[in-house]
Copies of this chain bind each other. A is one copy, B any other.
Amino acid sequence: MGYKEQAEFLRSGLYRWEGDARAFEKDGPYIEVVTSPNNPDGAIREAVVSRGEGKLVYDLAYYWPQYTPITQPLDRDIMLFTFSKCTGHAGSRIGWALVKDKEVARKMTEYMQISSIGVSKESQIRAAKILGVLSEGCQHFRTVDSQNFFEYSHSILKERWERLRNVVKNSKTFTLPKYPRDYCNFTGKYMDSNPAFAWLHSKEDIDWESRLREHKIIARSGERFGASPKYARISMFSPPEAFNLFLERFSAIIDDINGNVVT
């Protein structure tokens, strides 16, 4: 469920969904949501509507060092975070925000109060525990041999991306996005992006969500993200057995297509 669905379902008298920011040309106050890294394509994004009366909301759900190099300490007016993609605790339904304007922060708190009185105490206890473990793991970072959570997650994603790129390399129809290698201030190294999702593109004009499902691969069509069905989004953080099975089945599809193209 995205920002669009929320805005449309609630039919608020306060705001209205205006669609893609790149096509927005109206005058007056506006809110631009910048999802960076973006879901589904993992791209680092900046605001595109540049006008005086706008409020920018940065959704940083995927701005964690296992996915993308942390190139700078961000300093935006409104920044949203969640445990969901940080540690995988999506089910705890807990996030946080860094907000510069006191009045905006107060309104956000009021909204929480009015919509739900506040976040589940059980989730808060869990989140506090997780934060403790994460920050403890990062405290002695770069001085000890053991991996902290982010390094560990990064090594898994890196290995999966390498395996997927190796498979796609053999394909005559599929391509994957390329990401710039960049210096990560968190790890102190130059790093590749290893996004949470693979944003697969095919030259062939096929509804890939349906086609992949026939081969027992669950993907989400590009259409669901306002793109062409030639795109499909595939999760890179499924359980290990599921990911292995996906790669196996996907390789078979590629071999099959390659064969068909050749003969």
Contact = CB atoms under 8 A, between A and B. Distances in A.
A56 interface: no
A110 interface: yes
Interface string A1-17: 10001100111111000
A33 B236 CA distance: 46
Interface in A2-53: 5-6, 9-14
Interface of A: 1, 5-6, 9-14, 90-94, 110-111, 113-123, 125-126
Contact of A9 (B9, B111, B120): B111
A32 B9 CA distance: 21
- Please report whether the interface of chain A is mostly helix, strand, loop or mixed according to DSSP: helix
Contact of A117 (B1, B113, B114, B117): B1
Contact of A93 (B9, B12, B118): B118
A5 B114 contact: yes
A110 to B, nearest CB: 7
Given A9-B114, A115-B115, A121 B1 contact: no
Nearest to A8: B114
